Structure 1
């Protein structure tokens, strides 16, 4: 709400940074908590649902920003402060419906009886929590993320995320500027189509990700998205209809790829270090978000939309190469058939002394 009452740039910057920090906590803890509450066979599906809701909210934010008018010079303040409405609703819901603690986290701390009682209450009497060796990682969690065991997972989780967020935010946020540079005659309709296809792409991604190995899904969506943008960048005089088709295909593909943003980083780490690992992946990914938000409009003004397509297409190509070289397969359904695998992710029915985690079966 403070955004409604300030026009001071420094104060607005402080407010926006505070909002960003709060949202970062939500990204990190919310996805990990969901994964640690859902039974093993269902957690990936629930993570993809979470992303689908995120896409709907993102589209709603675009609609609010586009159609909120009539407040004169204060319109931008009203648009920014409108987020207080959904924030208040979410806050009230969490005050009324208390979120129980993660049973896997409780089990990892030796509070197994408390964990089992919570599972019986909220999941069902047929489910239980398997105890696991207690692992103390409070002081060494961040160092462990770059240890020999976790180094590749941390870098892959952060870099694939960053290579997605730069073109996604860069193109979607500044789509009106790109439409103007491309001389699109009806930019509003094109933008609405783009965002509608984004939601459709998330739904397509949910379906495909349940039938394809994680590793191949990541590589395929990166390379396909890169191809669409690089064709746009090379073919300067492409017919407008073909340009819109390629842009629509890009929207479908990049949004389908988003279903991995929540699920894949959570699968890369054991429960004892998962929140720190996911937090680090998100922190690395914000480099791409910042670059897409601040650099691309400057580049667009200097060199036009073609330069944007070249940069974003190149970043996506780099993301595909990174995943091809280093991304491990984390799906138990496909991992045993793939040489690029890691230890069993949390949620597996496989338990062993080398795997310090607990599962809900």
Structure 2
């Protein structure tokens, strides 16, 4: 990745070409997440009869990547603190490319479950790796917008997956192989774009490698930048066990539970979108893609709105009120028997719109 050759300091740096490219390629992780977790929904339309999947295997295939995400995110945040951001930033994409291609050659349900789980680990690993790298490079005044783009990228990936799946679905009985293998294409593009990204100067300083950190800072921000421009970097290590102490436990549970309750139904909707929309009679045959696309617009609109609403209302009130509206929407979908199509669609739309403010904080 080509580095910028301008700027006066770190926190007050302009949005240089390097920082723009870093934001785009870092957003590739959430993009792949949205793509991989959505394309399986289209592939399952063909996989169910081909592999003779029952409810158990269909659920396992749909959930495998999400379970892998939880494992990858939990483990590799710690690993990247030990080994650095640069190496892990590229190797996780290589893993996604390899396992995505291997999916094309599976012949049994358990093989696909295993590969989806491993892909999920790699995608989950990219969240703490890429987020840390972007946060540690981004100037203060652009940090919120740069992080907000990560939230939007997930839905961009989901939309692209929906389009790809729709176009491939009726091309051949083996189209599912190409759907699953297609994730290797954006992963390969991202891996090429990430090549040459320098190590985080904050991580280097934390490891005592100040000379290397200074070199990176001057390359990225300009010859006038120095280590003094960096935010204060803690000199003492913090143990994970501190999260269980009274001071942090309540806050940790608040964030973790809300995140879990937001993610689980959202990913279920995306993974099994064709089946869910068909069950609600929102489109016959392949026409469900129209309802799916419109609902995606509400997800994306909520993402954009949340980036401004969070500063106006505050994080805690925004997340609580968003969950109130999401709950009401799910109640409409779950307990209103024989609801008219417009009410069902409204339930999906309200849930989609408020799902992003619930997650963004």
Is the TM-score greater than 0.5? yes
Q: How many residues align?
A: 255
Q: Name structure 2 gaps, 5 residues minimum.
A: 1-100
* Change over 3 Å in CA distance of 1:173–1:209 after alignment to 2: same
Structure 1 residues 216-259: Cα deviation after superposition (integer angstroms, max 9, x where no partner): 11112111111222233343243322322232122111134332
Report the RMSD for the aligned CA atoms in angstroms.
2.4
Pick from 226, 232, 255 the counterpart of residue 157 of structure 1. 255
TM, length-normalised to structure 2: 0.64
Q: 1:72 to 1:39 in 2, by over 3 A?
A: same
Q: Which residue of structure 2 lines up, in the alignment, with residue 24 of structure 1?
A: 124
Equivalent residue for 1:142?
240
Q: CA deviation at 1:67?
A: 2.5
Q: Report runs of 4+ in structure 1 exceeding 6 Å deviation.
A: none
Deviation at 1:116, TM superposition (A): 4.2
Structure 2 residue matching 1:238: 3-state secondary structure: coil
Q: Which has the higher contact order (CA 8 A, sep 6+)?
A: 1
Structure 1, gaps ≥5 residues long: 261-361
Alpha-carbon distance between aligned partners in 1 of 2:217 and 2:248, rounded to the nearest angstrom? 29
Checking the alignment, whether the CA contact within 8 Å between 2:159 and 2:296 is kept in structure 1 is: yes
Q: Distance in 1 between matches of 2:203 and 2:186?
A: 29
Residues 184 and 22 (structure 1), Cα distance of their counterparts in 2 relative to 1, 3 Å cut? closer
In structure 2, the residue matched to 1:106 is 204
CA distances 1:5-49 after superposition (whole Å, capped 9, x unpaired): 222333323222221111111012111221122123332221111
User: Cα gap change, 1:136/1:229 in structure 2, threshold over 3 Å: closer, same or farther?
Assistant: closer
Contact 1:112 1:131 (C-alpha < 8 Å) held by counterparts: no
Q: How do residues 103-252 of structure 1 correspond to structure 2 at under 5 angstroms?
A: 103-124=201-222, 125=224, 128-137=229-238, 141-185=239-283, 187-252=288-353
Q: Secondary structure at the match of 1:73?
A: coil
| Alignment CA distance shift 1:202-1:68 (3 Å) | same
Q: Confirm or deny that 1:35 pairs with 2:140.
A: no
Deviations 1:88-136 (A, max 9, x none): 11112222xx222222222333444543443343235367114545223
